Amino acid sequence: MDTPDTQYNSSRDTPAYPRVMIFDTTLRDGEQSPGASLNLPEKLEIAHALENLGVDIIEAGFPITSPGDFEAVHAVAAEITNSTVAGLARCTERDVRRAGEAVGKAARGRIHIFLATSKIHREFKLKKAKEEIIRLTVENVKLAREYVADVEFSPEDASRTELDYLAEVVHAAIEAGATTINCPDTVGNATPSEYRAMFEYLLQHVPGAKNVIFSSHCHNDLGLAVANSLSAVLGGARQVECTINGIGERAGNAALEEIVMAMRTRPDQFPFSTRINSRRLVPCSRLVSTLTGLHVQRNKAIVGENAFAHEAGIHQDGILKERSTYEIIVPEDVGWVQNKLVLGKHSGRHAFRQRLEELGHHLDEAMLDRAFEAFKALGDKKKEIYDEDLEALMDEQLKTDRQLFQLKNLQVMAGTYGVATATVTLLDSTGVEITDAAIGDGPVDAMFAAIQRLTRISAQLDSFQVRSITGGREAQGEVTVELTHHNHKVRGRGFSTDILEASAKAYLTAINRIRTITQRTVGQASPLDA
């Protein structure tokens, strides 16, 4: 297996260039994307993929927000050894202590504290004076240092904060013991030259600035998150906060894969190195997309399906003569594989495991047994099994572990005239079979109505999408649903060669997420209270 430390796949990416640390916040800021909530096994799966990718710091969550978030940060901190594991905290004693408990036992743990500093946040959100913000910063950074030696402080909305005041806060945080100073463009309002100038100013004016690492954290509201992050590096930042596929609040965060490949492809402009094994970018992107249910747009740079597709004849001709005429990156360098047909019914367990590992899934023996059984069952329905099928299979397998309700059986009657009826049998969380039937306006509606009756959860269906994940008549269908339940948006995906079964699975996944969210948020602080 590749290890991040040995996998520099470009001779340009040598330690001769100054290192930029990659801080991935897919599991925290990324998970704040509406409908993208992840459960513990999913978070662990992504954390391991990020560790293998070579990420320096994994922000695993916001421990105070719920017992589930605490547990996730704690579990990631216990399992990950090659990356630092960070937990987020507001600038309060409760938050910092909770984050400290979550990451305190990590091989390398970090507490990341944030407090807004801009005038607009001070006056309208916090209702706190400048001095009080400095006092809270100092107190809480000092408290965090009692738990870990590695403390990051973020003056939230830094890019809209008066520079002289920002310098004062940053100075106080450094004096109190912060080792990384992250200056976020929280609302995605900055431009590259402005954002760079902020880092240059701080590095020049804050005493002790040279002894800490400055970090960028950009949101993509103006589509400038990656440009701003790179500009920050040119201005002296040596840590970049980003997410896989650029997922995150609103328009998202800066996309990890784009930042890394910009530095690697244009060392003349960005002479910096990272520890990222770029061949893992596409598998990691797929994993995050599969588990969060957030599709990657086809034309997305680096990891989009069309990122290396050449349609125009003149381009195809050029590529055939000399690849570099129209390609600035070798697709294999970011993890695209030429031959996507991987396995068939007669493939063995070893080949199956190896391909899953290449795709970033590392299974223990028990899980491998179950997944291999499902693979053989799929092989009976489908002759050729592609990477997309394996991703779908893994999605289903990870779900089986955490589903409160599981689909056991489905019978649907529908036709051109008359009402459709569906009879659904589920296994509840104790393994007991429960069956009910319902009528509906078509077979899908009838199935969803039966599931609502069985689970006693009724939610509004906002979107229902069907697509085929590979080509051909035997292809598996992917159904994605979006539901709203008491202001919570949730997504669910289901895969099957039978589209009705895929629909029921997608719906049930979303219903299970609603159950988990309602169980875990009762009486808890919301991250939005920050």
Q: How many residues bind ligand KIV (CB under 6 A)?
A: 9
Instruction: Choose the one of Zn ion, ligand KIV, none that binds residue 482, judging by a C-beta under 5 to 8 angstroms depending on kind.
Output: none
Cβ-based nearer residue to ligand KIV, 219 or 238:
219
Max intra-chain CA distance, the chain: 78
Long-range Cβ contacts of 198-203 (<8 Å, 24+ apart): 198/158, 198/159, 198/163, 198/166, 198/235, 199/232, 199/235, 199/236, 199/237, 200/235, 200/236, 201/163, 201/167, 202/166, 202/167, 202/170, 203/235, 203/236
> Which of 37, 82, 179, 186 contacts ligand KIV by CB under 6 A?
186
Q: How many residues bind Zn ion (CB under 5 A)?
A: 1
Quick one: which segment of 24-32, 59-67, 92-100, 346-354 binds Zn ion (CB under 5 A)? 24-32
Cβ-based nearer residue to ligand KIV, 219 or 489:
219
Q: In the range 251-270, which residues lie near Zn ion by CB under 5 A?
A: none
Contact between residue 84 and residue 110 where contact means Cβ atoms under 8 Å apart: yes
Q: How far is the CB of 184 from ligand KIV (least distance, A)?
A: 3
Contacts of 46 (CB under 8 A, 6+ apart): 26, 27, 38, 244, 287, 288, 291
Quick one: which segment of 22-30, 42-50, 154-162, 483-491 binds Zn ion (CB under 5 A)? 22-30
Q: In the range 261-280, which residues lie near ligand KIV by CB under 6 A?
A: none
Q: How far is the CB of 219 from ligand KIV (least distance, A)?
A: 6
Instruction: Choose the one of ligand KIV, Zn ion, none that binds residue 154, judging by a C-beta under 5 to 8 angstroms depending on kind.
Output: ligand KIV
Q: In the range 224-243, which residues lie near ligand KIV by CB under 6 A?
A: none
Cβ-based nearer residue to Zn ion, 29 or 387:
29
Cβ-based nearer residue to Zn ion, 29 or 391:
29
Q: How far is the CB of 484 from ligand KIV (least distance, A)?
A: 25
Other C-beta atoms lying within 10 Å of the C-beta of residue 208: 12
Q: How far apart are CA 59 and CA 314, in angstroms?
A: 45
Residue 462 exposure: Cα atoms within 13 Å on the Cβ side? 12
29 binds Zn ion, rule: CB under 5 A: yes
217 binds ligand KIV, rule: CB under 6 A: yes
- The site string for Zn ion over 216-245 (x = CB under 5 A, - otherwise) reads ------------------------------
Query: For residue 1, what are its two tokens?
Result: 């297996």
Contact between residue 281 and residue 10 where contact means Cβ atoms under 8 Å apart: no
Give the chain's end-to-end CA distance (angstroms, integer).
41
Q: Which residue has the tokens 């002894």?
A: 211
Quick one: which segment of 26-34, 285-293, 355-363, 374-382 binds Zn ion (CB under 5 A)? 26-34
Quick one: which segment of 128-136, 180-188, 375-383, 385-393 binds ligand KIV (CB under 6 A)? 180-188
Cβ-based nearer residue to ligand KIV, 23 or 405:
23
CA dihedral in degrees (253, 256, 261, 264; nearest 10)?
A: 110
- Could you tell me the strand order of the sheet in which 477-485 lies? 460-468, 477-485, 488-496
At 412 the three-state DSSP class reads strand
**Ramachandran sector of residue 479 (left: φ over 0; alpha: ψ -120 to 50; beta: rest):** beta
Q: How far is the CB of 70 from ligand KIV (least distance, A)?
A: 17
Bridge partners of 261, per DSSP, are none
Quick one: which segment of 35-43, 182-190, 203-211, 258-266 binds ligand KIV (CB under 6 A)? 182-190
Q: Which H or E run contains 79? A: helix 67-79
Q: Which H or E run contains 129? A: none
95 binds ligand KIV, rule: CB under 6 A: no
Q: In the range 403-442, which residues lie near Zn ion by CB under 5 A?
A: none
114 binds ligand KIV, rule: CB under 6 A: yes
> What sign results for the dihedral spanned by CA atoms 415, 416, 420, 422?
positive
At 385 the three-state DSSP class reads strand
Q: How many distinct helices (H) and strands (E) make up the chain? A: 16, 16
> Which of 7, 21, 24, 29 contacts ligand KIV by CB under 6 A?
29
Query: For residue 457, what are its two tokens?
Result: 């959860």
Whole-Å CA distances, 301 to 192, 258, 309, 323, 379: 19, 7, 11, 18, 33
Cβ-based nearer residue to ligand KIV, 154 or 512:
154
Give residue 28's Cα distance to chain centre. 8
Q: How far is the CB of 27 from ligand KIV (least distance, A)?
A: 13
Interior angle at CA 47, CA 41 and CA 53, nearest 5: 140
56 binds Zn ion, rule: CB under 5 A: no
Q: How far is the CB of 297 from ligand KIV (least distance, A)?
A: 22
Quick one: which segment of 12-20, 25-33, 38-46, 432-440 binds Zn ion (CB under 5 A)? 25-33
Cβ-based nearer residue to Zn ion, 219 or 280:
219
Residue nearest to Zn ion (CB): 29
Cβ-based nearer residue to ligand KIV, 192 or 443:
192
Q: How far is the CB of 185 from Zn ion (least distance, A)?
A: 9
Q: In the range 137-166, which residues lie near ligand KIV by CB under 6 A?
A: 154, 156
Instruction: Choose the one of ligand KIV, Zn ion, none that binds residue 114, judging by a C-beta under 5 to 8 angstroms depending on kind.
Output: ligand KIV
Q: How far apart are CA 223 and CA 191, in angstroms?
A: 10
Q: How far is the CB of 63 from Zn ion (least distance, A)?
A: 17
List interacting residues with ligand KIV (CB under 6 A): 29, 114, 154, 156, 182, 184, 186, 217, 219
The residue ranges that bind Zn ion (CB under 5 A) are 29
